[in-house]
A and B are shown apart, each in its own frame.
Chain A
Amino acid sequence: DTEVTQTPKHLVMGMTNKKSLKCEQHMGHRAMYWYKQKAKKPPELMFVYSYEKLSINESVPSRFSPECPNSSLLNLHLHALQPEDSALYLCASSQSAGASDEQYFGPGTRLTVT
């Protein structure tokens, strides 16, 4: 099974709401990633978890809060977002965070902030 699942597929939220994005993989991968992607642009890395520990936070605003409850799950908690945060949020996983490890991406959550 080479599938990464993400829920929900679409999310519309107001600037005062709190919501969470969820990601799951059952490939035994030990590295998981959150990306933000604007239309027709490359993904921008937000966070990297390696062996369930946060290893990279790419200067992401504190209104985004990641959580890795176990090796298969990754959450992204959202609070007080801005309209410019509207984007496709992609989760990915890889065997480890090694140089030769390809990433497997989920289908993404399309987020609209109103």
Chain B
Amino acid sequence: AQSVAQPEDQVNVAEGNPLTVKCTYSVSGNPYLFWYVQYPNRGLQFLLKYITGDNLVKGSYGFEAEFNKSQTSFHLKKPSALVSDSALYFCAVSGLSGGSYIPTFGRGTSLIVHP
């Protein structure tokens, strides 16, 4: 069975500084990895995904993620944080269940960007 770990409940960063939100995964076979963001009282929004190919994946709103197979990690990064990036971030890995692929989500990391 697949699993995802987000080791940090909360990440605090100052506006303008780089940010990293960590994710490690466990899966048999090829990993299909995703990042989603959730703003307060909203649904989740897809940010980016890794399927295959280049280990650095670029996504929406200036976010990118680095896939590292040897460390089984898929950390989310942004070079310069904005206050508006403050939200709840979920890492997910796709796995087969009942004939359909479904995401297994990490517990979520709350990102707080201070002005």
Most buried by A among B51, B94, B102: B102
What interface size band does chain B fall in?
A: 20 to 34
Chain B 30-61 near chain A by CB (<8 Å), digits 1 or 0: 00101010000111111001010000000000
* Shortest Cβ distance from A44 into B: residue: B105
Q: Are A42 and B105 in contact (CB under 8 A)?
A: yes
Q: Are A100 and B49 in contact (CB under 8 A)?
A: yes
Q: Are A4 and B43 in contact (CB under 8 A)?
A: yes
Q: Are A48 and B43 in contact (CB under 8 A)?
A: no
**Complex: how many Å from CA A113 to CA B97?**
31
Tally A residues with Cβ within 8 Å of B: 28
Q: Are A55 and B94 in contact (CB under 8 A)?
A: no
- Contact (A108, B88) CB under 8 Å given A45-B102, A97-B101, A100-B32: no
Q: Is the interface of B mostly helix, strand, loop or mixed?
A: strand
Q: Is B110 among interface residues, defined by CB-CB distance under 8 A?
A: yes
Q: Are A50 and B32 in contact (CB under 8 A)?
A: no
**Complex: how many Å from CA A45 to CA B95?**
13
CB distance from B113 to the nearest CB of A (A): 17
Q: Are A98 and B101 in contact (CB under 8 A)?
A: yes
Chain B 8-45 near chain A by CB (<8 Å), digits 1 or 0: 00000000000000000000000010101000011111
User: Which A residues are CB-close (under 8 A) to B36?
Assistant: 103, 105
Provide 20 A-B residue pairs closer than 8 Å at the C-beta atoms, listed in order of the A residue.
A33-B102, A40-B88, A41-B108, A42-B106, A55-B100, A56-B97, A90-B43, A92-B43, A92-B44, A99-B32, A99-B94, A100-B32, A100-B51, A102-B46, A105-B36, A105-B43, A105-B44, A106-B43, A108-B41, A108-B43
B contact residues vs A (CB 8 Å cutoff): 32, 34, 36, 41-46, 49, 51, 88, 90, 94, 96-103, 105-108, 110
